[in-house]
């Protein structure tokens, strides 16, 4: 076919659409949609809270401003730990939160964020996007009328701030530590006394000795709260949060009513927000750690006996839960298989590359 013929042929087939016939659905102007996003997080956690704003901005840009999402910080619309309920019952159309805040409903929701001795951020992404994780979690979230999407990751968190060094497992006995969730349960099995405090209450409790230790996030966020001024011993790794992933929640009924083009925009924006948060932490944490060390912070790895006892206690807890909680078992069994295989691969190649470059002079 001559180029000229092709062009005139194309024009001929296109012409009637605009003129005589009704536009197909895909070409009709899409409706204005306004959603509210309830975040679990305060604006002071700028990197985490910011994932909600990344999502909202991209969704608006992809839809010519017709799909608007307004982000509310934790406590503005609903309390930070009630986001799952608020989205499920339609108080907010969508939310930004963490599955492990809701383990009181079902311990299986923790796999949507992190469980002790679980996946790294990269492995969590692999499991979620390409290893069946999203589908497994969606089956559980459907019970709460919510659809979830990965929504950011901090990377491996730090083990926290200790007023005195921990030399061995025996030093955990009676230690009052701010550590919520499953990590706290395991610390209790090791003899510590876990406490759950919001971020703003940690510093004064640590300062007056009501706490001996506290975990928060990592160098960038911890530095802002000033823990290094009152507890010089900074431990690693945060074995309870090796790659904690946050999540965006959408009310199922609202999602089903959303035009397909908006669903696509929302989904692709969640992927951007998920990636962008980890990239920001990986850029912000290294200089923050250098600043902390420059101010006299002493870095210590957790003693090996602490790590071994914690890992043993963690898997005892999972096995016990799997015997009585079918929802948990349905996620835990394939998650464990994915984890074990991933670890075999990462310990061969990624670990060798990292170990040589980080440690061998
Ligand atoms: Ca933490």
> Nearest 5 degrees, angle CA 40-CA 44-CA 46?
80
Could you read off the pLDDT of 264-316 as tens digits, one per residue?
A: 999 999 999 999 999 999 999 999 999 999 999 999 999 999 999 999 999 99
Strand 245-251 to 146-153 pairing: antiparallel
- Tell me which H or E stretch contains 252: helix 252-257
* Ordered domains of the chain (ranges, CATH): 33-152+243-282 (3.40.190.170)
Torsional class of 209: left (φ above 0), alpha (ψ -120 to 50), beta (otherwise) = left
CA 157 to ligand 1 center in whole angstroms? 6
CA 163 to ligand 1 center in whole angstroms? 18
Could you read off the pLDDT of 9-55 as tens digits, one per residue?
A: 444 444 444 444 555 666 678 999 999 999 999 999 999 999 999 99
CA 194 to ligand 1 center in whole angstroms? 13
With cut-offs at 50, 70 and 90, classify the pLDDT of residue 2.
very low
CA 23 to ligand 1 center in whole angstroms? 52
CA 10 to ligand 1 center in whole angstroms? 59
Q: What is the pLDDT of residue 20?
A: 46
CA 94 to ligand 1 center in whole angstroms? 24
CA 64 to ligand 1 center in whole angstroms? 37
Beta-bridge mates of residue 100 = none
Compute the distance between CA of residue 60 and CA of residue 64 in angstroms, rounded to an integer: 6
pTM of the model: 0.91
Cβ burial 94-106 (10 Å sphere, 16+ → b, else e): bbbbbbbbbbeeb
Compute the distance between CA of residue 184 and CA of residue 314 in angstroms, rounded to an integer: 11
CA 164 to ligand 1 center in whole angstroms? 20
Strand 245-251 to 94-97 pairing: antiparallel
For range 62-70, the mean pLDDT: 97
Could you read off the pLDDT of 153-182 as tens digits, one per residue?
A: 999 999 999 999 999 999 999 999 999 999
Cβ burial 148-161 (10 Å sphere, 16+ → b, else e): bbbbbbbbbbbbbb
């Amino acid at each position: 076919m001559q180029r000229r013929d092709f062009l005139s042929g194309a024009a001929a087939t296109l012409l009637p659409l605009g003129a005589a016939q009704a536009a197909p659905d895909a070409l009709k102007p899409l409706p204005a949609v306004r959603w509210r996003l309830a975040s679990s997080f305060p604006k002071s956690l700028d990197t985490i809270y910011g994932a909600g704003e990344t999502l909202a901005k991209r969704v608006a840009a992809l839809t010519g401003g017709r799909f608007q999402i307004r982000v509310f910080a934790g406590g503005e619309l609903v309390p930070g730990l009630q986001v799952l309920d608020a989205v499920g019952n339609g108080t907010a159309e969508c939310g930004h939160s963490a599955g492990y805040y809701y383990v009181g409903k079902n311990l299986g929701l923790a796999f949507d964020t992190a469980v002790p001795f679980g996946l790294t951020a990269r492995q969590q992404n692999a499991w979620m996007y390409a290893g069946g994780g999203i589908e497994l979690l969606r089956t559980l979230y459907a019970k709460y009328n919510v659809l979830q999407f990965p929504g950011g990751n901090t990377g491996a968190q730090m083990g926290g701030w200790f007023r005195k060094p921990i030399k061995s497992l025996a030093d955990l006995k009676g230690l009052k530590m701010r550590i919520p969730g499953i990590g706290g349960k395991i610390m209790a099995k090791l003899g510590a006394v876990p406490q759950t405090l919001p971020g703003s209450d940690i510093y004064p409790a640590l300062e007056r000795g009501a706490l001996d230790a506290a975990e928060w996030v990592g160098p960038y966020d911890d530095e802002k709260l000033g823990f290094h001024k009152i507890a010089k011993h900074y431990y690693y790794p945060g074995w309870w949060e090796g790659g904690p992933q946050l999540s965006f929640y959408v009310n199922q009924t609202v999602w089903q009513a959303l035009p397909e083009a908006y669903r696509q925009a929302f989904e692709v924006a969640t992927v951007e927000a998920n990636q962008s948060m980890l990239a920001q932490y990986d850029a912000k944490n290294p200089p923050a750690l250098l600043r902390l060390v420059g101010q006299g912070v002493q870095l210590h790895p957790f003693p090996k006996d602490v790590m071994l006892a914690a890992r043993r206690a963690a898997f005892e807890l999972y096995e016990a839960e799997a015997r009585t909680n079918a929802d948990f078992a349905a996620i835990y069994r394939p998650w464990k298989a994915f984890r074990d295989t991933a670890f075999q691969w990462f310990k061969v190649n990624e670990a060798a590359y990292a170990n040589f470059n980080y440690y061998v002079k």
